[in-house]
Amino acid sequence: MAAIGTDLNRFILEEERRYPNATGSLSLALTALETAAKIIASHVRMAGLADILGMAGRTNIQGEEVQKLDVLSNEIMVQHLSDSGYFYALASEELEEPVFPEKGKDGKYIIAFDPLDGSSNIDVNVNIGTIFSIHRKTHGGVEDFFQQGDRQVAAGYIVYGSSTMLVYSTGAGVNGFTLDPSVGLFLLSHPGMRLPERGKTYSLNESNYPGWEEGLRRYVDHLKEEGYTSRYIGSMVADVHRTLIKGGIFCYPSDHKNREGKLRLLYEASPMAFLVEQAGGMATTGKEEILKVRPKALHQRVPVFLGSRREIEELLRFL
């Protein structure tokens, strides 16, 4: 296992060496993602200051319209991933249709991402994040995005919090890197992340309790009797990051308002399910494993239950 403090680029190259047939495309694709993440992180840091300086939502000193951070983050992702030439197609939470970059027409990969999830939390300085999911290009066209999650080549997130962390997996476990702003490098800080077999917290928006199915209501009542603590930030990346480290269960279930739940399959549920399973946990829609769901539309939603094995297995007995 790589030593704490190993920088991300070296880690990616050392990972690549484990695959003799690797061409290096995925490694370079990941470094393009890393660059976009660093730039987004710098803008997220400035968000509060921009507001104080009266830039947010108005024109800045150059007379340019300052964009909403999620729109800007999307542009940064699209620009850097397109310019890399490694991605045949990009799908974004911010874009109705995929982008097929001219430079990526020979690219081997496609990527779906939420450029800045939880962006409504920016003005209250709550952690937000970027989530990404990488598949191989198959036949070309938008259909390439409708591959099951267990065929992902890589998935991960960047969480912009007290520190900026990049957490990802290429199918050989999960590793977390913390950005050292003094040198501008992501350094390995959480090697070989594993979910505890069971946790002590449950994480979901209890205001939707009346609209949940009966089995879920009984399960959450049971957790309270068992002495579990509730922890819910309302920013998926932050709630999943805590679950990945501390264990327990994160849920965004369907309810009478959101028949299919709220979270998107391609660029929220599927990448997070890939990470959680790679870290020894489980991820289900309540009816089937999230990684086995066959997508039918770019922005389709699914109910999400993910976390420690014990909590998920117990939940399924209640549903």
Instruction: Give yes or no for residue 304 binding ligand P6P (CB under 6 A).
Output: no
User: Closest distance between ligand P6P and the C-beta of residue 119, in Å?
Assistant: 7
To ligand P6P, the closest distance from the beta carbon of 10 in angstroms equals: 32
Q: Please tell me the count of residues contacting ligand P6P according to CB under 6 A.
A: 10
How does DSSP classify residue 101?
A: -
Q: Is 300 in the site for ligand P6P (CB under 6 A)?
A: no
In 3-state terms, what secondary structure has residue 114? strand
Tell me which DSSP letter residue 67 carries: P
Minimum CB–partner distance for residue 262 and ligand P6P (Å):
6
In the bound complex, what is the minimum distance in angstroms from residue 276's beta carbon to ligand P6P? 14
Among 262, 283, 285, 298, binds ligand P6P (CB under 6 A): 262
Closest approach of ligand P6P to the CB of residue 157, in Å: 11
181 lies in the binding site for ligand P6P (CB under 6 A): no
Q: How far is the CB of 188 from ligand P6P (least distance, A)?
A: 26
Give Cα separations from 12 to 7, 31, 137, 168, 172 (angstroms): 9, 8, 21, 11, 12
SS3 241: helix
Task: Choose between 100 and 232: whose C-beta lies nearer to ligand P6P.
Answer: 232
Give least dist CB 259 to ligand P6P, A.
14
CB of 129 to ligand P6P, least distance (A): 8
Asked whether position 205 contacts ligand P6P by CB under 6 A, the answer is: yes
98 CB neighbour count, 10 Å cutoff: 18
**The dihedral sign for the CA sequence 14, 16, 20, 25:** negative
Site for ligand P6P in 96-155 (CB under 6 A): 117-118, 120
Distance CA 236, CA 160 (A): 12
Taking the complex as a whole, how short is the minimal distance between the CB of residue 117 and ligand P6P, in angstroms? 5
CB 240 within 8 A of CB 276: yes
Please state whether beta strands 87-92 and 109-117 pair in parallel, antiparallel, or not at all (unpaired): parallel
Residue 305 pairs with which residues in a beta bridge?
A: 251, 284
Torsion sign over Cα 88, 279, 245, 236: positive
Tell me the per-residue interface mask from 78 to 97 with ligand P6P, x by CB under 6 A, - otherwise. --------------------
Closest CB to ligand P6P among 148 and 205? Answer: 205
The yes or no reply on residue 74 touching ligand P6P (CB under 6 A) is no
Q: Which of 235, 270, 278, 308 binds ligand P6P (CB under 6 A)?
A: 235
Look at residues 16, 14, 11, 36 and name the one whose alpha carbon lies nearest to residue 26: 16
Among 166-174, 194-202, 234-242, 282-290, the segment contacting ligand P6P (CB under 6 A):
234-242
- Reading the block at residue 131, the tokens are 């989530």
- DSSP letter for 152, please: -
Report DSSP state, residue 72.
H
Report which DSSP code applies to 3. Answer: P
Comparing CA positions, the residue from 123, 117, 166 lying closest to residue 266 is 117
Which of 149, 253 has the CB closer to ligand P6P? Answer: 253
Cα angle 2-238-33, degrees, rounded to a multiple of 5: 55
Cα–Cα distances in angstroms (integers) from residue 14 to residues 6, 20, 216, in the given order = 10, 11, 44
Residue closer to ligand P6P (CB basis): 236 or 298: 236
- 230 binds ligand P6P per the rule CB under 6 A: no
**236 contacts ligand P6P (rule: CB under 6 A):** yes
189 in contact with ligand P6P (CB under 6 A): no
Note the residues at the interface with ligand P6P (CB under 6 A): 117-118, 120, 205, 234-236, 239, 252, 262
